[in-house]
Structure 1
Amino acid sequence: MRRLSFVMCLALAGPAAAQEVGRVGVDWIGNDVVIEAIDDPKVQGVTCHIAYFDRSLIDRLKQGNWFEDPSNAAISCRQTGPIVLGDIDRGRNGERVFSESRSLVFKSLRVTRIYDEARHTLIYLSHANELVEGSAKVAISTIPIAAQP
């Protein structure tokens, strides 16, 4: 299922690609917590790490929900080099940095960047996007940046 999600993500041509950097087994049936690194494609010097639950085949058989993974995730973003702001969306709604399918069609995990210009801070929000029902499963990470001359 993980490969299917990845292939679907590539097919949709998401804004940024994630690189798996860690995987921790959490039980005997093969469920894992996956950690991925996402470099912001429009802000040089920023990397976000996102952690999420990846269901095993055994769990899918047991639960009966074949085509869906949980959409909650943790996020932490840090400055990994000199920050160079590219042509980013500076509006209140921000801009999608990353999106990955969490079900066959109707749900995705997203990372959205919002720039708080008054406080010179980049805000990264991980959240679920669901077609039918919204989700309150969110996480946030901020990066203060030096004022641009």
Structure 2
Amino acid sequence: MRMIAAALLMLPALVPVQSQAEEIAQVGVDWVGNDIVIEAIRDPDVGGVTCHLAYFERSVLDRLSQGNWFEDPSNSAIQCSRTGPVDVSTLRPGAPEDVFSEGRSLLFKSLRVKRIYDAENRVLVYLAHASELSEGSAKMSMSTVPLPVEEAGARPTD
């Protein structure tokens, strides 16, 4: 039983984190100390794309009053922008790839950012969503980064 508990505690550490987030700001939203945290996440495989992820972080007072001590809400918002040259030559079109993952509860919930390369439309799609062990989560946010024809590997039309 102890081995199972230890394995469950290590589960968030076993999930690969592709990119590190840099906290940009915390915005206080109420008198009990709940905050909205905004982080910058640079895409490690593409370069030239930075996503800003906003999510809710509960205060100690809110955790005590709600009785759910070890979990933050799944709500998030994401916006991604070009911040330099973009190279998509190593990406597989249509294949969701992990960019970022961060634990949102003690054991079973994480906030994830995935990238999908839509080669036909010359767009990078970034999806922020919660991953939960049971019942999943329908809470998500999406952002797109359009690519110029020359960066998407397509030939310009005359």
TM-score (norm 2): 0.84
Structure 2 residues without counterparts, runs of 5 or longer: 1-10
Residues 42 and 86, structure 1, Cα contact 8 Å, conserved in 2: no
Tell me the distance in 2 between the aligned counterparts of 1:17 and 1:86.
22
Q: Deviations over 1:28-61 (max 9, x none)?
A: 1100000000000001100000000000011111
Matched, 1:132 2:134: yes
- What residue number does 1:83 align with? 86
Q: Deviation string for 1:53-102 (max 9, x for gaps)?
A: 00001111111101000011000000011112252343x34101000000
CA distance in structure 1 between the partners assigned to 2:12 and 2:48 by the alignment:
24
Q: Secondary structure at the match of 1:60?
A: helix
Say how many residue pairs are matched: 141
> Counterpart of 1:76 in structure 2: which amino acid?
Q
The 1-side partners of 2:122 and 2:92 are apart by 14
**Deviation string for 1:120-147 (max 9, x for gaps)?**
1000000011111111101100011022
Q: For residue 71 of structure 1, what is the aligned residue in structure 2?
A: 74
1-structure distance, mates of 2:92, 2:73 = 29
Give the root-mean-square deviation of aligned CA atoms. 1.6
TM-score when normalising by structure 1: 0.88
What secondary structure sits across from 1:44 in the alignment? coil
Equivalent residue letter for 1:19 = E
The residue number in structure 1 matching 2:41 is 38
Point out where structure 1 has 5 or more consecutive residues left out of the alignment. Answer: 1-7
Moved over 3 A (4+): 8-13
Letter matched to residue 117 of structure 2: Y
Query: What secondary structure is seen at the aligned counterpart in 2 of 1:124?
Result: strand
The within-5 A match list for 1:106-121 is: 106-121=108-123
Amino acid at match of 2:139: K
Whichever residue aligns with residue 110 of structure 1, its letter is R
Identical amino acids, percent of aligned pairs: 57
